[in-house]
């Protein structure tokens, strides 16, 4: 049975600017894939990331290279060999999972021998701003179970202190997005400990993290940009205590599941993260997030308008999409 493959570029305006150490986003540009077979449609979404040399155009071009094989029935395992890890493979991998579940009537979580998706405590993210504005934003979500603070190397101590004072009961993740030096990391250790930061995400550039080999952190350090796929794990030992699994880095749920199992075997803590995009990109990550110590899947909450049956925030919990939205 032949399939029909549709590829679209969609741009979602954000409800507010999203500032991290590398710049400011005002919209989420995503690539959406639809796979039609019989009367069923499988969907997937990815977010091209310039930091990894990706663009909407490059992701679309990658997808076009496998169009013929996808149309005649290429499956997920062959896809792993045909496309490298990244946004293109993620969008198509998600669409294949979704199509398989709809054709078989077996939800993705059943295929993975897991119970149905449930609500999760997800981090709510604070973009970089003045300490006063970050404190005000933190006060509005002070009841959240987990808050993630985006930082750079400009006066991070004042920002961390301000957020902690405004949200004294929340667990905190600090994410400098590779903007710190080992000297700054050493200097901030007492502050991180005093403010009870639960996790420090990728403080140093991934290509400069050898400095972590001789560093003992009082706070668990999580590899984000340094961890893409399961074969990265041997290098991460003795540098990091946790790994951030993002489907746009792994190239989809198929490799993310493999990374999860291998990271557990290596005794890494698990964080599941996302790019800023719609609920269609968030939904597959729920399958990994149920096993994670730290969940950061608020990307769709930044959009001005999302899918009406997508993820929602209710009483501080991230609710999964409605049945039938993706994967069963």
Positions marked active-site: 150, 246
> What single string gives the DSSP state of each residue in 238-293?
TT-SEEEE-HHHHTSHHHHHHHHHHHHHTT-EEEE---S--HHHHGGGHHHHTT-S
How many alpha carbons lie under 13 Å from residue 316 in its C-beta half-sphere? 10
d(CA 140, CA 285) in angstroms, rounded, equals 26
- Check: CB of residue 258 under 8 Å from CB of residue 230: yes
Q: In what order do the strands lie in the sheet with 294-295?
A: 124-126, 146-150, 171-175, 197-201, 221-223, 242-245, 269-272, 294-295
d(CA 283, CA 308) in angstroms, rounded, equals 13
> Is 148 in a helix, a strand, or coil?
strand
| Beta-sheet pairing, 4-20 with 23-37 | antiparallel
Helices 156-166 and 131-140 cross at an angle (nearest 10°) of 30
């Amino acid at each position: 049975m032949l399939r029909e493959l549709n590829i679209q570029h969609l741009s979602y305006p954000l409800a507010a600017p999203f500032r991290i150490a590398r710049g400011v986003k005002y919209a989420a540009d995503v690539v959406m894939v639809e796979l039609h077979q019989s009367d069923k449609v499988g969907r997937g979404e990815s977010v091209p990331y310039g930091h990894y040399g990706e663009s909407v155009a490059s992701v679309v071009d990658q997808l076009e290279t496998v169009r013929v094989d996808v149309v005649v029935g290429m499956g997920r395992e062959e896809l792993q060999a045909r496309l490298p890890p990244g946004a293109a493979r993620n969008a198509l991998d998600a669409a294949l999972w979704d199509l398989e579940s709809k054709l078989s009537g077996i939800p993705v979580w059943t295929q993975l021998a897991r119970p149905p998706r449930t609500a999760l405590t997800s981090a709510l993210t604070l973009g970089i701003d003045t300490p006063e504005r970050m404190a005000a934003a933190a006060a509005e979500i002070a009841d959240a179970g987990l808050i993630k603070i985006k930082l750079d190397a400009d006066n991070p101590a004042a920002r961390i202190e301000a957020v902690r004072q405004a949200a004294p009961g929340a667990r905190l993740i600090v994410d400098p997005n590779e903007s710190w030096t080992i000297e700054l990391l050493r200097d901030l250790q007492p502050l991180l400990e005093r403010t009870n930061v639960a996790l420090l995400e990728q403080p140093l550039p991934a290509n400069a993290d050898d400095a972590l080999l001789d560093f003992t952190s009082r706070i668990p350090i999580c590899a984000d940009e340094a961890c893409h796929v399961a074969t990265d794990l041997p290098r991460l030992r003795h540098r990091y205590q946790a790994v951030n699994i993002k489907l746009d880095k792994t190239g989809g749920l198929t490799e993310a599941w493999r990374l999860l199992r291998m990271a557990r075997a290596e005794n890494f803590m698990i964080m599941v993260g996302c790019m800023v995009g719609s609920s269609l990109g968030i939904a597959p990550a729920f399958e990994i997030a149920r096993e994670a110590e730290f969940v950061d899947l608020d990307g769709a909450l930044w959009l001005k308008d999302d899918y009406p049956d997508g993820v929602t925030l209710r009483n501080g919990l991230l609710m999964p999409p409605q049945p039938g939205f993706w994967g069963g």
